[in-house]
Chains A and B, each alone.
Chain A
Amino acid sequence: MTLEWIGDAVLLLVILPVVVYLLRGVLNAANSIVPSAQKIAMAATAGSKDLDATALLLTTQDQVKTTIEVAADYGGSLDVILDDA
């Protein structure tokens, strides 16, 4: 009978606090990850949205090509019109 009471005391005073302490540590660690994961998700979403304008690079590419062609035409004409130094 005495051993049973000793077992009960160990169970309540040692095992239960240790289990609670360990599980609470795991929960705190998991909860601390949540805000970081939320920030990462927001940053990735914002970065993806910022890159929506990359499609305009195709237009820029065409315009640069056209501009350089026009400049080359003008340069050819100037090369003919103006004397060399």
Chain B
Amino acid sequence: MPAAGVVMIIAVLLIVLAVVYYLVSTIVALQRITKNLDEAITGVVGIIEKSAPVDDVVTSINTNLDAGVSLLEGLLVKKAGMEDAVGLVEGLYPGASGDGFRDFPDSKETKAPRISEVYTKGTLTLARLGREAPIAAASPNGPALRNPTYGSLAARGLYPEVRQTRPEAMPRSPVIGTDSPVQYEPSESPGVRKRMPVAVGASSEPTVDPGSDEGGVVKSGLAFLRRLKNDKAPPSGAADQD
């Protein structure tokens, strides 16, 4: 065999070896890819199977929650009124009143009143609960609203301003005592006045009860009827008619 033929045979063998090596390596790589894709397909099928009922279940949950929201919003607005309801929501969740109630579109335009002016007792109660109270949600990092040492002063800040620094603006309490504008005299019989009250400075003489010297409940009742009759009669000549 000539040398050229031997070299050709060797060259062909080298080419075949190279083709076999690379093709086998490619086959191995493709097999690994196939295996991984099979695992991926298994996982995706699992996702599809597990997520299939989610739509129905979540839809059902949302339907129930929607009904609950409508119920609570409707009840709150019905019982508290639109303004107070918005104020209550604003007091519990600051800034939430801007979103309004879902079933009441006009609630977005309703101005939320200060919660302390609407529910003073409730606010005070919540404040007494301390930092965990919903009213403290506005400043969760600040100090507790309830001051254990000066609790009354701290609670006073929750009330409207007119109750704190301008008490003189409030109506005066009725005056009692010797200097009161309306004088009463103690009665011998309970429930029966000895005479009708007369304002200080009035010119009329105090009415003397003619039956005041009579004792007993019956006599007191008669005296009361007489006095009532005198009150209804004209001032002039009333004693003569009696």
Which A residues are within 8 Å of any B CB, using their own CB?
Answer: 1, 4-5, 7-8, 11-12, 15-16, 19-20, 23-24, 26-27, 30-31, 33-34, 37-38, 40-41, 43-48, 51-52, 54, 57-58, 60-61, 64-65, 67-68, 71-72, 75, 78-79, 82-85
Contacts and interface: CB of A to CB of B under 8 A. Distances in A.
B19 A23 contact: yes
If over half of A's interface residues share one DSSP class (helix, strand or loop), that class is named, otherwise mixed; here it is: helix
Interface range on chain B: under 10, 10 to 19, 20 to 34, or 35 or more?
A: 35 or more
Given A34-B33, A71-B71, A8 B7 contact: yes
Given A43-B40, A85-B77, 7 more contacts: A23-B19, A23-B21, A26-B26, A27-B25, A34-B32, A44-B44, A47-B44
Contacts, number: 150
Given A26-B26, A61-B57, A85-B80, A51 B4 contact: no
A16 B68 contact: no
Contacts of B72: 71, 75
Contact of A23 (B26, B42, B79): B26
A81 B40 CA distance: 60
Nearest to B74: A75
Contacts of A41: 36-37, 39-40, 43
Contact of A5 (B4, B23, B39, B43): B4
A47 B43 CA distance: 7
B78 to A, nearest CB: 6
